[in-house]
Structure 1
Amino acid sequence: MSLTVFILSDGTGITAETFAHSILSQFNLKFRLLRLPFIDSRIKAALAADRINQTALESERRPIVFTTLVDPVLNEMVKGARALVMDIFQTFVEPLEQELGIEASHAIGRGHWTADSEAYCQRIEAINFSLAHDDGQSDHNLEQAEVILIGVSRSGKTPTSLYLAMQYGVRTANYPLIPEDFERGALPGPLAAYKSKLFGLSIDAYRLSQIRAARRPGSRYAALENCRAEISAAQTLMERENIPYLCSTHKSIEEIATTVLQECKLEKVIY
């Protein structure tokens, strides 16, 4: 049986879930993560505690709770539940208060007070830009791109582009490398002027064949030999043009994005 892990937050819970996932990945066990966001009142905290207690009654082992609740009253209500409660804020905030000599605000949702900020608007613009420049559908305003991902179809360009836009506010375009490009032995025409912004993604041929077969089963597009030929031609082209690239086969979107930021020297802070 999987062990139940609750993620409690007065906001979205995304930060706490990311932290919990990083910690839990160190253990070779199955975990069932349940995120309970927007716990910002006593009623919601009581309901969350009841749900945790009910899970404890139905399980062989008590649940684990990761919480980023900043309201001490709500936190104490949750800590009374039958669970191992890991208070992420208390772990870090109290030592910082002592070190800095000031008290933290303990204001609910402070980490998400960005809806009207310039940085938030830039992130929305980056998302819109990436959607408009997905899969080479437009070369309008391409000079505004901070990075342009290239690679064969289904090598991970679109999810990486959107992740860079959503998490880092990076205006990312992506272009597919197709057989016509390989026959010409040249990059797609619109990209010639932006060679310094290019970064390539490659992928294992067998994995690419699997991905394509799920979309177009039995097609030449998904055939293993065709995938091998396209990947080989794409890598040859990128190497000849001195375009950095990586293999996305065994890397998460987060790892790919981090490598892109590092290689392209884009100093961005995650939102």
Structure 2
Amino acid sequence: MQINTESRDVFYVSDGTAITCETLGHVLLGQFSFSANEKTFPFVESLDKVEDLVREIENSFTRTGEKPLVFFSIVLPDIRQVLVKSSAHCYDVLEDLVKKMQNDLQMEPQPKLQRSRSVKRDSDTYFDRIAAIEYTLAHDDGITLKGIEKADIVLLGVSRSGKTPTSLYMAMQFGLRVVNYPFIDDDIKAMRLLPEFEIHRHKLFGLTIDAQRLTEIRENRLSGSDYASDEQCRLELASVEALFRREAIPYINTSSLSVEEISTRILEKAGLKRRLV
């Protein structure tokens, strides 16, 4: 049977949220050229759930003739054993690290469901994260600039340059309060900073994007409109990038970057520290 090297089924499996599996899996998959048909299975914490999952794995193997790739984090041995016996290439995202820490610390691990130090629901960090998300949602897409003095960073850019997903990622992952503001027609014509931005200049950060990519994104939303035209996209980007340069506002091009990469580069360039890890 000929193996298809263009696409593979990929499962992210965890007895928790599966976010760690997704993150590490994406990094590893980025080293290979095939496309991934991805599915995520969080909270696989019982034999019934893992048996349902194994049926999906077997169906994938039968359908494609290829073993799917499974990135997993399962701490309970009986559930883990069922999974690794399935017709899949299984990668435990924590196993090597746990073993190394065990050797380094000379301490036996004590596996427990949902054990993580990343989000402590009984501590101030959890509520800081929720407050950051609420603030960022309230200040999305220029809804309001009231309370801008509480923002950690203000993202500026043309419509559809990646401001909203970046803002939410930074709030959820790093606990940062983010305002994002899209330049509209009136802004493009005047092309000057609002007074609210002048007094918070040190918080400003710009996002830009290649004109062709922006046209594609806008065409998917409003096909055939002036808003999505190549000419309009080029005009807006040229005007906004000129403003960024004139006002010495740091900015990055988001065209080929994931939201994780965009956020990390913003933190690095802006000198911000992650509040939550």
Please give the TM-score of this superposition, normalised by the length of structure 1.
0.90
Does residue 3 (structure 1) correspond to residue 11 (structure 2)? The answer is: no
More divergent stretch after superposition (46-55 vs 76-85): 46-55
More divergent stretch after superposition (74-83 vs 157-166): 74-83
Task: Work out the number of aligned pairs and report it.
Answer: 271
What's the offset of the Cα at 1:96? 0.8
What's the offset of the Cα at 1:201? 0.9
Segments ≥4 residues shifted beyond 4 Å? none
Distance between the aligned counterparts of 1:105 and 1:191, measured in 2?
51
* Alignment match of 2:169 (pick from 163, 173, 180): 163
Distance between the aligned counterparts of 1:132 and 1:36, measured in 2?
31
Distance between the aligned counterparts of 1:31 and 1:249, measured in 2?
21
Does residue 41 (structure 1) correspond to residue 41 (structure 2)? The answer is: no
Query: Cα 1:50–1:146, aligned 2, differ >3 Å: closer, same or farther?
Result: same
Give yes or no for contact 2:161–2:254 (8 Å, CA) kept in 1. yes
Query: Cα 1:217–1:82, aligned 2, differ >3 Å: closer, same or farther?
Result: closer
What's the offset of the Cα at 1:52? 2.8
* Alignment match of 1:69 (pick from 55, 58, 74): 74
* Alignment match of 1:258 (pick from 252, 264, 268): 264
Query: Cα 1:128–1:54, aligned 2, differ >3 Å: closer, same or farther?
Result: same
* Alignment match of 1:87 (pick from 87, 92, 95): 92
Identity, in percent, stands at: 39
Give yes or no for contact 1:202–1:231 (8 Å, CA) kept in 2. yes
Does residue 239 (structure 1) correspond to residue 245 (structure 2)? The answer is: yes
Give yes or no for contact 2:119–2:125 (8 Å, CA) kept in 1. no
User: What letter matches 1:103 in structure 2?
Assistant: E
Give yes or no for contact 2:176–2:275 (8 Å, CA) kept in 1. no
User: What letter matches 1:251 in structure 2?
Assistant: L
* Alignment match of 1:194 (pick from 170, 177, 200): 200
Give yes or no for contact 2:125–2:276 (8 Å, CA) kept in 1. no
Give yes or no for contact 1:147–1:171 (8 Å, CA) kept in 2. yes
What's the offset of the Cα at 1:114? 2.7
Question: Structure 2 unaligned runs (5+)?
Answer: none
Give yes or no for contact 1:52–1:83 (8 Å, CA) kept in 2. yes
More divergent stretch after superposition (184-193 vs 228-237): 184-193
Question: Structure 1 unaligned runs (5+)?
Answer: none
* Alignment match of 2:127 (pick from 104, 121, 126): 121
Does residue 151 (structure 1) correspond to residue 157 (structure 2)? The answer is: yes
Q: Which aligned pairs between 1:167-178 and structure 2 lie closer than 5 A?
A: 167-178=173-184
The alignment's C-alpha RMSD in Å is 2.1
What is the aligned partner in structure 2 of residue 107 from structure 1? Answer: 112
Distance between the aligned counterparts of 1:95 and 1:223, measured in 2?
55
What is the aligned partner in structure 1 of residue 138 from structure 2? Answer: 132
* Alignment match of 1:223 (pick from 197, 218, 229): 229
Does residue 249 (structure 1) correspond to residue 255 (structure 2)? The answer is: yes
Distance between the aligned counterparts of 1:204 and 1:48, measured in 2?
41
Query: Cα 1:85–1:142, aligned 2, differ >3 Å: closer, same or farther?
Result: same
What's the offset of the Cα at 1:178? 3.2
